[in-house]
Amino acid sequence: MTYEEFYYSIDCNFPYHNESEWKRIIQQSIEIGGDAPFMVLHEICRVPASEKIEEAKHLEMYNFWKESFSSPVQEIVEPASLSYINKGELTDNEALEIMVKLSKFPNSYNALQVVLFSCPDDKDLVDEKYEEIVSMWKSAT
């Protein structure tokens, strides 16, 4: 399965209430590699309003994802990930600091998006930083 096919198979279609299926998808994302595991993280963190997940189950899903592979990006994006699960928000400054760290890991688009949506961004500074980093990554390829 290609990255694009994988994206369309889980986008707005993540099986939050089917443990064996979300575990399979997490493993599949690791096999696909690149940014695919962080696409799954994005789905895990940004649960649609139509879905209700108990916090303990949400943490179980996140912890399974985190323990399934190893990447320095995991630790960098973790505060943003946990802010979703704990139904909180980062400050804009916290999000900006995380984005600066992520900028050193080209093509981590999904991790960057998790951070982008983890704060209020009242002054659009986080969105500007997001666009700046994406532009930098694209110009480097």
State the pLDDT confidence band at 12, using cuts at 50, 70 and 90. Answer: confident
Report DSSP letters for 19-72, one per residue: HHHHHHHHHHHHHH-TTHHHHHHHHHHS--TT----HHHHHHHHHHHHHT---H
Residue 23 CA to chain centroid, in angstroms?
A: 16
96's tokens? 């900006």
What is the mean pLDDT of the segment spanning 75-103? 96
- Beta carbons of 79 and 115 less than 8 angstroms apart: no
Q: Which two tokens stand for residue 94?
A: 């916290």
Contact 86, 65 (CB under 8 A): no
Chain segment 106-136, per-residue pLDDT in tens: 999 999 999 999 999 999 999 999 999 999 9
The boundaries of the domain holding residue 90 are 3-140
In this predicted model, what pLDDT tens digit does every residue of 55-86 receive, in sequence order? 999 999 999 999 999 999 999 999 999 999 99
Q: Would you state the pLDDT for residue 140?
A: 87
**Model pTM?**
0.93
Q: Is the dihedral of CA 65, 66, 71, 72 positive or negative?
A: positive
Task: Extract the tokens encoding 101.
Answer: 């760290």
Res. 141: pLDDT tops 80: no
Number of domains composing the chain: 1
